[in-house]
Structure 1
Amino acid sequence: MRKYLLWRVLQIIPVLFLISIFVFALLYLAGDPVALMLPEDATQEQVDALRESLGLDQPFYIQYLSFVGDVIQGDFGYSYRYSQPALPIVLERLPATFELAFASMIVAVLIAVPLGILSATKRNTALDVFISGASVLGKAMPNFWLGIMLILMLAITYPFFPVSGSGSVAHLILPAITLGTGCAAEMTRVLRSSMLETLNQDYVRTAVSKGVKNFFVVYKHAFRNALIPFITITFLQVSTLVSGALITEVVFSWPGLGQLLIQAINGRDMAVVQATVFIVAFIVIVVNLMADVLYRVLDPRIQFD
């Protein structure tokens, strides 16, 4: 177990290395960073002085090494829009994104569990076909389109929920449904497949032949043993929720990382963009690691190397 964990953690290092290169390159994708910080009428002497003070007159590899050293210390630079370091700004918005991701996961589980069980127990019926088709449709629908449709139907035409913003549970419902629907589609399909495999096992057929009620066969025997792949895909969807929340937050003006990232891109505040991209990527890596370890812990058939 310890050797496996150590090996998985070591695998993160090259991934973080590639991410750091990408995040460092973001500084130059929007143009000359010095030109973005100074007014258009700045003199060449001012440009040269700022470039030298920021170390941007050094070779690229020197700049990159300096950038990595700063990132290790939690320094992503200074946001000229907010007039403060970039990392605290990102961390301040992180709880709102986690709140939306958690609510969306609750919505996804509430949808996926009953539909997955129904689809498996009613195999090859009209209900199974309908649920399977709805799962494919839910997976194919873009989050931003579904969010706009929900706003039009449930916030404008029939004003049951607020259009945008935060502050109450009502503000959370529409973005949570928008984000949770796509994850529920994938989770429903996984649970259906896992349930079908479990229902065909000998111990389930034995329970049925002994006269055990169908409810206990499905929920006590089949569902409990089908949870391992379902829990795994649930953890994997957490990373999808955190990254997918960025678009949904913009649609509903939710004050999380997504809204912050779009504002930073529009304002060319590259320090905030770099910090946001790096934090989101790091969260996705950690959650995927947790899902991989959890799967191996829950399934005793998998041996740790």
Structure 2
Amino acid sequence: MKKFLIRSLLQIIPVLFLISLIVFVLVHVTGDPVTLMLSDTATDEDRAILIKALGLDQPLYVQYFKFLGHLVQGDFGNSFRYQEPALPIVLERLPASFELAISSMVVATLIAIPLGILSATKRNSFLDVFVTGGAVLGKAMPSFWLGIMLILLFAVHWGVFPVSGQGTFAHLVLPAITLGTGVAAEMTRLIRSSMLEILQQDYIRTARSKGLLERIVIYKHAFQNSLVPVITIMALQTSHLIGGTLITETVFSWPGMGNLLIQAVNQRDMAIVQAAVFVVSILVILSNLLADLAYRVLDPRIKYN
């Protein structure tokens, strides 16, 4: 386990290096930052001074190594919208995105686990067809459409929940359901297929032949051993929810990192974009590492050699 951790941490270094290169290239192909930062009344002299101040008159490789040096120190530059360092602004929005992502994953888990198990144990029944059909529908629904429908029904028409913003538990319900629905649909199908495979194994037939209660066979022997692929999708979806809640946060005006990133892209605030993309990348890497560690806990047969 120790060797696995060391090797995994060392592998993160070239991945981060590649991410930094991609972010640097993407920022430079999106447009001229000087034009965006200067007013319409700026002169050519003002433009030349700003280009030199930003180091844009230097070769690209020199700019990249300077960018890399600042990145190691956590310096992504100043946001020209907020006139403050970009990274603290992104990190300030991160807890709100964490709150929404974790709540969405809780909603998805509470929906997916019982429905996936029921669908597998009642294979080819009406319940199975209903659950799998609902999972396909839930996966096919665009999150922005579902969010708007929930706002119209529960906020505008019935007045049960707030329309937007953050503050109380009620503000969290609609965006969490919106994000959790798509994840729940994917997890339900995965749990069903994993459970169907496990239920055909010899040790399940042996457990039943010993006279064990069916619920013990299902939840202790079958479900526990079907969790490895489920942990994989949960880890991937958690990192996706943290960094990919762009549309949902915009629909519900949720003050998270996704909403901040959308505003930064629209305003070409590239310091914010760079910092947000890099933070999301690190979160994805860490969530995958935690998933690898969880495999060993769930299935001792897995070895990290």
TM-score by length of 1: 0.94
The aligned counterpart of 2:272 is 272
The aligned counterpart of 2:165 is 165
Amino acid at match of 2:40: E
CA-to-aligned-CA distance 1:51-108 (integer Å, 9 cap, x gap): 1122111100000000011011010001121111111100000000000001001000
* Superposition deviation, residue 192 in structure 1: 1.3
The aligned counterpart of 2:289 is 289
Amino acid at match of 2:71: V
Deviates more, 1:184-193 or 1:111-120: 184-193
The aligned counterpart of 2:122 is 122
Aligned pair count reads: 305
Deviates more, 1:187-196 or 1:66-75: 187-196
Q: 1:58 to 1:167 in 2, by over 3 A?
A: same
**d(CA) in 2 for partners of 1:261, 1:244:** 10
* Superposition deviation, residue 172 in structure 1: 0.4
Amino acid at match of 1:277: V
Q: Is the 8 A contact 1:232 1:294 kept in 2?
A: no
Q: Is the 8 A contact 2:243 2:257 kept in 1?
A: no
The aligned counterpart of 1:55 is 55
**d(CA) in 1 for partners of 2:161, 2:181:** 18
Amino acid at match of 1:286: L
Q: Is the 8 A contact 2:227 2:298 kept in 1?
A: no
Q: Is the 8 A contact 2:144 2:248 kept in 1?
A: yes
**Which blocks of at least 5 consecutive residues in structure 1 are unaligned?**
none
Q: Say whether residues 1:107 and 2:128 are aligned partners.
A: no
Amino acid at match of 1:41: T
Matches within 5 A, 1:69-88: 69-88=69-88
Matches within 5 A, 1:195-274: 195-274=195-274
The aligned counterpart of 1:136 is 136
The aligned counterpart of 2:17 is 17
Q: 1:304 to 1:220 in 2, by over 3 A?
A: closer
Deviates more, 1:44-53 or 1:223-232: 223-232
Q: Is the 8 A contact 1:107 1:176 kept in 2?
A: yes
CA-to-aligned-CA distance 1:126-164 (integer Å, 9 cap, x gap): 111111121122222221121112112221222211111
Matches within 5 A, 1:146-185: 146-185=146-185
Q: 1:297 to 1:222 in 2, by over 3 A?
A: closer
* Superposition deviation, residue 115 in structure 1: 0.2
* Superposition deviation, residue 297 in structure 1: 4.3
Deviates more, 1:11-20 or 1:154-163: 11-20
Q: Is the 8 A contact 1:26 1:274 kept in 2?
A: no
Where 2:293 maps in the other structure, the secondary structure is helix
RMSD: 1.7
**d(CA) in 2 for partners of 1:299, 1:38:** 58
Matches within 5 A, 1:24-35: 24-35=24-35
**d(CA) in 2 for partners of 1:140, 1:32:** 38
Q: Is the 8 A contact 2:225 2:299 kept in 1?
A: no
**d(CA) in 2 for partners of 1:163, 1:91:** 25
Deviates more, 1:69-78 or 1:217-226: 217-226
**d(CA) in 1 for partners of 2:269, 2:2:** 42
**Which blocks of at least 5 consecutive residues in structure 2 are unaligned?**
none
* Superposition deviation, residue 167 in structure 1: 0.4
Amino acid at match of 1:42: A
**d(CA) in 2 for partners of 1:218, 1:298:** 16
Amino acid at match of 2:94: L
Where 2:244 maps in the other structure, the secondary structure is helix
Q: Is the 8 A contact 1:228 1:298 kept in 2?
A: yes
Q: Is the 8 A contact 2:228 2:295 kept in 1?
A: yes
**d(CA) in 2 for partners of 1:190, 1:113:** 10
